[in-house]
Amino acid sequence: MRKRARALARARLRTGLPRFAQRFVLMTRVLIPSGALGLNYDADALARGIAANPDIIAIDGGSTDSGPSYLGRGVSKYARASTKLEWAGLMKARAEAGVPLVIGTAGTCGTDSAADWMLDITREIATEQGTPLKVAVLRSSQDPGSIARAYEAGEIVPLSGAPEVTGQDIRACSNIVALAGAEQIAAALQTRADIIIAGRTTDTAIIAALPLMRGDHAGGAWHGAKIGECGALCATNPQSGVIMIDFDDTGFTVTPLADGAHASPHTVSAHMLYENSDPFILHEPGGHLDVTGARYTALDKTSVRVEGSKWVPADRYTVKLEGARPAGCRTVLMALLRDPHYVANAAQWAEDIVARCSAKILDRMDIAAEDFTLEIRLIGHSASFGALETRSGDPVEIGVIGIITAPTEEQAAEIGKLLNPYLLHHPLTQEEEQPTFAFLFSPPDMHQGVVYEFVLHHVLYLSDPMDAFRLEVIDIG
């Protein structure tokens, strides 16, 4: 707790404000163009935000929501073309406003490779715009070997719902990132960089950092950041993206900036439900936010004032870890059933194929039963929920997806070739004429290569917030 207070005091001093101003709490205006770079933003609303003189522009670049493959490979989910176009617009807006522009969780997953991808795009734009810039890059990638040792030494503890892991599982990760909080973003802001490209951060840290540095209300800073992290999702017309949040010494005020977008106490408070397992408590590095006592008041038709949220510092400083490791290679086959006899008996047909094909795989390939998976999901029957499905219907047709995972691409492809004849011709009974089902393509098999799985839902103890992160300042353009 004392350490955090010291870090914040340091952060405040280094903002370079005149000493007299430091005695007063400053209002901090944060402009948030959208919930994620790559989702587009309303250019008119952004211009309105720039005209309102923000202190910082902050945008999120990713999350785990698209699945483990992006973290596993260290790549972005969004098109480079979209990212570049939207980032160029924000860089231009930043130059006009003369304030820092921050992206958190750059390139969807926030690995060092994703941050470098974002830096590369930033360099291109800076050259094209003819603007020399100072860029701070905050790197969040972790060495799996060091994390495994920290785990074995008891410096990493599981969060509720975490999977069982071993040091070996951690060493097998292709990428591990630590989620930076406000302290690491503050360190990046203290470099006085024009642009901050942060690897993995919490969604809120990039918004909360500056208000905290300037001494605004801590509960308000984190709560406002949570409300703002998805852009205008906390308002009506959520696709419009752009919102502005004013932080001060008692709370925050949120204002969506697009035409026709309104925030109400209901839309704002309901946003605490969104993708949150607990709508009142939000854990962050160094403590947690408690919004049990928050009061939401409409200022007018557009803006909402929030006060009464509480920041509760933790005894020890922790950062959350995310990791992804290879889980084999996947081959997928698709077919269609339209013959009513097969549509009506699809589940039995699929079960029979899995049993026969599995036996053939074990008989003809040098592979153990525990080293591969073969599953058929039936679209139109039970593909969404499998055994949890409670309904049945009378579909016109059924989509058949054969999903195979095996240790190597060759083995997954080979199993696909063993499955192929069944999906094309397997009869329900020996008595009937050989059926032929519809394949959509030639070949019908699609090879996904290495697939990944999430491994960690843990936190790492740090004695200094910067211990797991690296900050580099680069001149570009």
Partner 1 sequence: MAELRTLVTKVRSKNAGPFWLTIDIFCGSPEAYARVVRDLETARIAAVFEADSQTIKRFDMPDLNVVKFSLPRPAVQGAVDDRDMHGASWAALVGDLDI
> What is the length of the chain?
477
Q: Which of 168, 390, 392, 442 binds partner 1 (CB under 8 A)?
A: 390
Residue 326 binds partner 1, judged by CB under 8 A = no
Structure tokens at 84: 């570049």
For partner 1, the binding residues in 275-314 under the rule CB under 8 A are 275-280
* Minimum CB–partner distance for residue 278 and partner 1 (Å): 7
E strands along 9-132, which residues? 28-32, 56-62, 101-108
For partner 1, the binding residues in 244-273 under the rule CB under 8 A are 266, 269-270, 273
Q: Which of 13, 85, 157, 162 binds partner 1 (CB under 8 A)?
A: 162
| Residue whose pair of structure tokens reads 């984190």 in the numeric block | 222
* Minimum CB–partner distance for residue 322 and partner 1 (Å): 8
Contact 70, 454 (CB under 8 A): no
Going by C-alpha positions, the residue among 250, 205, 204 that lies closest to residue 227 is 204
For partner 1, the closer of residues 163 and 449 by Cβ is 163
Q: How many other C-beta atoms can be found within 10 angstroms of the C-beta atom of residue 388?
A: 7
Q: Which of 49, 54, 68, 215 binds partner 1 (CB under 8 A)?
A: 68
* Minimum CB–partner distance for residue 414 and partner 1 (Å): 18
Q: What is the CA radius of gyration of the chain?
A: 26
* Minimum CB–partner distance for residue 270 and partner 1 (Å): 6
Q: Which of 3, 48, 80, 377 binds partner 1 (CB under 8 A)?
A: 377
Structure tokens at 315: 């005894």
* Minimum CB–partner distance for residue 207 and partner 1 (Å): 19
Helix axes 346-364, 409-425, angle to 10 degrees: 140
Phi/psi at 313 (5° precision)? -65, 150
Residue 166 binds partner 1, judged by CB under 8 A = no
Contact 229, 36 (CB under 8 A): no
For partner 1, the closer of residues 119 and 268 by Cβ is 268
Going by C-alpha positions, the residue among 317, 288, 313 that lies closest to residue 460 is 317
For partner 1, the binding residues in 336-365 under the rule CB under 8 A are none
**HSE-up (13 A, CA, CB side) for residue 227:** 38
Phi-psi region of 286 (alpha: psi -120 to 50; beta: other; left: phi over 0): left
Segment near partner 1 (CB under 8 A), from 12-20, 34-42, 320-328, 349-357? 320-328
* Minimum CB–partner distance for residue 46 and partner 1 (Å): 27
Segment near partner 1 (CB under 8 A), from 170-178, 189-197, 300-308, 376-384? 376-384
For partner 1, the closer of residues 232 and 324 by Cβ is 324
Q: Is the peptide bond before 313 cis (omega within 30 degrees of 0)?
A: no
Q: Which of 98, 388, 393, 429 binds partner 1 (CB under 8 A)?
A: 388
Question: Is residue 292 helix, strand or coil?
Answer: coil
For partner 1, the closer of residues 47 and 298 by Cβ is 298
For partner 1, the closer of residues 301 and 391 by Cβ is 391
The CA distance from 398 to 391, in Å, is: 15
Segment near partner 1 (CB under 8 A), from 5-13, 65-73, 143-151, 409-417? 65-73
Longest dimension (CA), the chain: 93
Contact 320, 458 (CB under 8 A): yes
The number of residues that bind partner 1 (CB under 8 A) is: 40
* Minimum CB–partner distance for residue 459 and partner 1 (Å): 13
Helix axes 2-14, 205-213, angle to 10 degrees: 80
For partner 1, the binding residues in 426-465 under the rule CB under 8 A are 451-454, 457
Taking CB under 8 A as the rule, which mask of x and - marks residues 116-155 in contact with partner 1?
Answer: ----------------------------------------
Q: Which of 28, 34, 69, 204 binds partner 1 (CB under 8 A)?
A: 69
Residue 192 binds partner 1, judged by CB under 8 A = no
The CA distance from 435 to 425, in Å, is: 5
Spell out the long-range contacts of 434-438 with Cβ–Cβ below 8 A and sequence spacing 24 or more: 435/339, 435/342, 437/335, 437/336, 437/337, 437/339, 437/342, 437/400, 438/335, 438/336, 438/337, 438/338
* Minimum CB–partner distance for residue 261 and partner 1 (Å): 20
For partner 1, the closer of residues 86 and 453 by Cβ is 453
Alpha carbon distances (Å) from 151 to 174, 285, 470:
17, 18, 21
* Minimum CB–partner distance for residue 249 and partner 1 (Å): 25
Q: Which of 327, 428, 438, 471 binds partner 1 (CB under 8 A)?
A: 327
The CA distance from 202 to 460, in Å, is: 14
For partner 1, the closer of residues 242 and 406 by Cβ is 406
Q: Which of 163, 260, 427, 443 binds partner 1 (CB under 8 A)?
A: 163
Going by C-alpha positions, the residue among 318, 216, 308, 323 that lies closest to residue 269 is 308
Q: Catalog residues that contact partner 1 under the rule CB under 8 A.
A: 64-69, 161-163, 266, 269-270, 273-280, 322, 327-328, 373, 377, 383-391, 405, 451-454, 457
